[in-house]
């Protein structure tokens, strides 16, 4: 059923881009918003006039700090209905040049941050709803990089691939015991945000990869202000989906993943075609490794009693 009631949203990474758009559009519709970000006093000062609650939050903080910050939002507004995991950054560099520390920083922000905030939110969401089924929506601002690897994008893609796997598992856990809580991954292509001028490039550490790194710098600069996707439109449609109105009107259920942007759709179709091609050619080899006479796939979890 469409949700016309006003909601309370907790949003990370609100200094610019999608996060800022969520704050502005939701406040214009009358929803309550908890806008968070690092160094919020200065970096989120431009959002104070919206009337949003501004909280300082680093998504890489320890779990206890994230729990306390989410509880602070509940104390202020009485509840939280929607969590938007938006904070993130892109680390560029060839695998051989990326250090473990580079990879870890990307994972800490883009993977552990959203998952830790999910842990902070789940007890509250589980306490809501009817018949013990919970209630709440957890939105993950993912990327086409969650299913499509890019040269010099290993750190970012690894974090987004990991997030997709964890959230897919989460969705099945929730479906088993708390079906009123819905996770949603937004797989976005390139949209009109500031991300392309905030790319983090590793120093030239291995001379062999210099041409690739230089090409990636040129590509990033060329993509800025030339993105096919309109961030205002994406956020507007995600809000409609969250409320069950507009583009979501008449849809039976929110899927786990929704792609946004023609570039993302194109890459997704390529990925599907590639995997189908592999399956067509190699399925007989794959099946040949089973024990003869095995009765089929492992059983699903037993139904809840």
- CA–CA separation, 263 vs 227, rounded Å? 9
Told to judge if 156 belongs to the known catalytic residues of this protein, a careful annotator would answer: yes
- CA–CA separation, 223 vs 227, rounded Å? 6
Contacts for 77 with CB less than 8 Å, ≥ 6 apart: 8, 32, 34, 53
- CA–CA separation, 210 vs 212, rounded Å? 5
- Per DSSP, the three-state class of 81 is coil
- CA–CA separation, 135 vs 62, rounded Å? 25
Output the six-digit token pair for 101. 């520390």
User: Which among 89, 140, 156, 224 is annotated as catalytic?
Assistant: 156
- How many whole angstroms from its chain centre is CA 181? 16
- 230, β-bridge pairs: none
- CA–CA separation, 92 vs 293, rounded Å? 48
- CA–CA separation, 36 vs 14, rounded Å? 6
- CA–CA separation, 127 vs 129, rounded Å? 7
- 56, β-bridge pairs: 37
- CA–CA separation, 62 vs 71, rounded Å? 15
How many helices and strands (H and E) does the chain possess? Answer: 9, 9
- CA–CA separation, 9 vs 31, rounded Å? 8
- Per DSSP, the three-state class of 167 is helix
Point out the residues that are catalytic. Answer: 156
């Amino acid at each position: 059923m469409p949700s016309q009631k006003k909601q309370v949203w907790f949003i990370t990474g609100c200094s610019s881009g999608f996060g800022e758009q969520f704050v502005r559009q939701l406040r214009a519709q009358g929803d309550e918003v908890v806008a968070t970000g690092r160094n919020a006093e200065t970096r989120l000062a431009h959002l104070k006039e919206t009337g949003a609650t501004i909280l300082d939050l680093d998504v890489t903080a320890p779990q206890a700090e994230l729990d306390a910050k989410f509880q602070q939002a509940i104390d202020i507004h009485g509840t939280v209905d929607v969590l938007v995991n938006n904070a993130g950054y892109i680390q560029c560099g060839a695998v051989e040049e990326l250090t473990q520390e580079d990879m870890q920083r990307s994972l800490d922000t883009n993977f552990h941050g959203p998952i830790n905030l999910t842990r902070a939110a789940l007890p509250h969401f589980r306490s809501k709803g009817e018949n013990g089924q919970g209630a709440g929506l957890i939105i993950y601002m993912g990327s086409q990089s969650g299913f499509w690897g890019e040269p010099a994008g290993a750190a970012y893609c690894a974090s987004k691939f990991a997030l997709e796997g964890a959230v897919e598992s989460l969705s099945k856990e929730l479906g088993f015991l708390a079906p009123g809580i819905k996770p949603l991954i937004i797989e976005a292509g390139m949209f009109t945000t500031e991300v392309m001028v905030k790319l983090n490039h590793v120093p030239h550490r291995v001379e062999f990869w210099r041409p690739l790194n230089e090409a990636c710098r040129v590509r990033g600069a060329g993509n800025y202000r030339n993105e096919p996707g309109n961030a205002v439109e994406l956020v507007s449609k995600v809000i409609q989906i969250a409320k069950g109105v507009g583009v979501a009107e008449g849809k039976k259920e929110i899927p786990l993943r929704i792609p946004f942007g023609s570039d993302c759709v194109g890459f997704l179709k390529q990925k599907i075609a590639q995997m189908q091609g592999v399956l067509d050619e190699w399925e007989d080899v794959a099946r040949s490794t089973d024990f003869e006479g095995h009765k089929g796939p492992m059983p699903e979890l037993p139904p809840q009693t």
